[in-house]
Chains A and B, each alone.
Chain A
Amino acid sequence: MNFFKIIFFLGLPAMFVFSCKKDEPKPPVDPDHPDLVYDPTPYQLAAPAYFPLLEMPADNPMTEEGILLGRMLFYDPILSGDSTLSCAGCHKQEYAFSDENQFSTGIDGLMGDRQAMPVMNIAWVSDLFWDGRAEGVEAQALGPVENPIEMHETWPNAMEKLKRHPEYPSLFFYAFGTWDITKEHAAKAIAQFERTLISADTRFDKKFYLLDPNPFLLTDEEIEGHFIFNTEKGDCFHCHGGSLLTDNLFHNNGLDANSADEGLGKVTGKTTDRGKFKTPSLRNIALTGPYMHDGRFATLEEVVDFYSDSLQFSETIDPLMKNVHQGGIRLTAQEKSNLIAFLHTFTDTAFVHRKEFSNPF
């Protein structure tokens, strides 16, 4: 009798073990600040359905509180050595969070040799910077603070300034549930804010993804430009295709016969990667000049002239630069003009004016 009972009832406790719901973790309360409660509000990124599937880092879930903190840190010069330069100093909303200058100027008046990349749709970018040296947005956010030609600060100093600040300690607590402010938390907060910077409100989206029936949405010239862009006539789409207008890969696009900047090659150590750079998204391209990794072209006209007529051969030039042997795609003046007209349909005017992306101070 007991034997049968044992067999039959062995499963019952196991059922309870597996079906028991874990107690919800209680919000931590700091004894020195009993009035403050850590209870962050989860934030769901509002991404267009036609954007690529999104992989978010499991260790940095987005919250309203994290985004608010990140927005403040993005715009606050407190993170720089002399408290004069913020992230937004070189990533300006009016230029889709890029810099209108060829090279940005750091707090010591020094300039780099790469153009500041725009910050938009960054949640879908895996390897950041022109040379891909930062694996994720959090890793990218750590870089400029200690870069001697940019914000020229140390993270320990920056942390001290934040800890002494009347508001930041509690903002960190609301965002991360700790009074121990770390650079990792700061980077996570900045990354959360940057992931909200989604740009997808353009005539290009309305026409080709939202299928707006308005026949006058694009001009004839813009439609002609679309055909050039999305066929091998212009062959822009192999690198700048899809809804993000970038393949998120690295290419040598034929700027130089012998690239002075090794680009990806310096990161990977491979000679076959020399002169390769991240494909930038063409969203808001009319706002994000000057162009290329070194900002050598001031206008879109110069960019299209380059792809049409001035490609330079090198050992690592991408095979997709199919017509390098004849200098480029050889567009007529009208074709160039149509192509540029199409590039302007990527401009998201609402994005550069959205209040929730703007300076909170």
Chain B
Amino acid sequence: MKTFKIMAVAMFALSMFAFLGCDDEKQPGFVTVYLDHDVAGEALEFDNIKYTSKAGHPFSVARLKYYVSNVTLLEADGTAFEIKDVHYRDAAEASTRSFSATNVPSGKYEKISFIYGLDETVNVDGGLPNTQTNINMEWPIPGDQGYHYMKLEGKYDSLGMGVIKNFNLHTGATMGNQNYIKISLPLSAFSVDGNTWGIYLEMDINEWLENPNTWDFEEFGPMIMMNQNAQEVLKANGSTVFKIDKVEKE
């Protein structure tokens, strides 16, 4: 019985030590990333030809679906934490608006980086779980592999006088080129220490059509999946489509 008593006291002491020892330790936190969209500052409204591209075409948006991957928070010294490997966003589905990490190590984060699309390790046939959603994003062009990175689709007024055509900005790997976009955005630094943060990313859809290259719907036509020149233009424009709207404690 004496041994038992000693064991119980020792266990109690150990647990108290562990409890008190935590007092100075910073705690992991909870971070949620939100993906929202606008067109030149106007809220995105589907199926309404109410926006105008830099090339002068009134246009509407019918669909916006895409992947972001390797979403990572970075500290000043380069310490990195990956929040999410792959996230699928459908702008029409509220359930895809955000994703979270529950165990973000404590630290002061100053940057968020991610890939728009999928890198070559994931962008292979069967690289993503075989869900209907992922299958619908497959890129079956013979000779190429993987998935659409983005489907941005809608209608535009080709002459500005009521001749309506369809556009399909589909990006992905084609003709041997991967075409994914590496994006890195500075954050207003925030400290994770047992708290909950929200990072709000905002895509300005017009940026796909104007910065740095003016995208003319007529120039490349509605079919660009095997057109590497068109993919290059969108790749350049895509690097500025996101900005940080806000970072706030939740």
Contacts and interface: CB of A to CB of B under 8 A. Distances in A.
B131 interface: yes
A354 B69 CA distance: 44
Nearest to B153: A319
Contacts of A321: 166
B4 A8 contact: yes
A133 to B, nearest CB: 19
Given A7-B8, A8-B4, A53 B168 contact: no
Interface of A: 1, 4, 7-8, 50-53, 124, 226-227, 230-232, 235, 237, 241-244, 247-249, 272, 313, 316-325
B132 A241 contact: no
Contact of B136 (A232, A241, A316): A241
Contacts of A52: 130-132, 135
Interface stretch (B96-104, B112-120, B178-186, B221-229): B221-229
A232 B223 contact: yes
Contacts of A316: 47
Query: Which 9 pairs, one residue from A and one from B, show the smallest C-beta to C-beta distance?
Result: A322-B222, A319-B153, A242-B135, A232-B223, A319-B166, A272-B47, A230-B140, A4-B8, A52-B132
Given A272-B47, A320-B153, A232 B226 contact: yes
Contact of A247 (B62, B136, B140): B136
18 contacts: A4-B5, A7-B8, A7-B12, A53-B129, A227-B142, A237-B140, A241-B136, A241-B140, A242-B138, A247-B136, A317-B166, A318-B166, A319-B154, A319-B166, A320-B168, A322-B166, A322-B222, A324-B166
Contacts of A325: 158, 163-166
A1 B249 CA distance: 49
Interface residues of B, number: 33
A319 B142 contact: no
Given A230-B142, A232-B223, A242-B135, 15 more contacts: A4-B4, A4-B8, A7-B12, A53-B129, A231-B141, A231-B142, A231-B225, A248-B132, A313-B164, A319-B62, A319-B153, A319-B155, A320-B153, A322-B223, A324-B165
Contacts of A7: 8, 12
A335 to B, nearest CB: 15
B135 A322 contact: no
Contacts of A226: 142
Contacts of B222: 322-323
Contacts of A50: 130
A1 B168 contact: no
Given A231-B142, A319-B154, A319-B166, A53 B131 contact: yes
Contacts of A53: 129-131
Nearest to A323: B222
Nearest to B164: A313
Nearest to B9: A4
A324 B156 CA distance: 13
Contacts of A51: 130
B93 to A, nearest CB: 12
A325 B155 CA distance: 11
B63 interface: yes
Nearest to A329: B223
A230 B141 contact: yes
Given A8-B4, A8-B8, A272-B47, A231 B226 contact: yes
A226 B143 CA distance: 12
A237 B136 CA distance: 9
A124 B62 CA distance: 25
A4 B7 CA distance: 10
A249 B63 CA distance: 13
Nearest to A124: B132
B67 interface: no
A317 B154 CA distance: 10
B5 A1 contact: yes
A241 B135 contact: yes
Nearest to A229: B140
A38 B140 CA distance: 48
B140 A249 contact: no
Nearest to B221: A322
B83 to A, nearest CB: 24
B88 interface: no
B167 interface: yes
B223 to A, nearest CB: 4
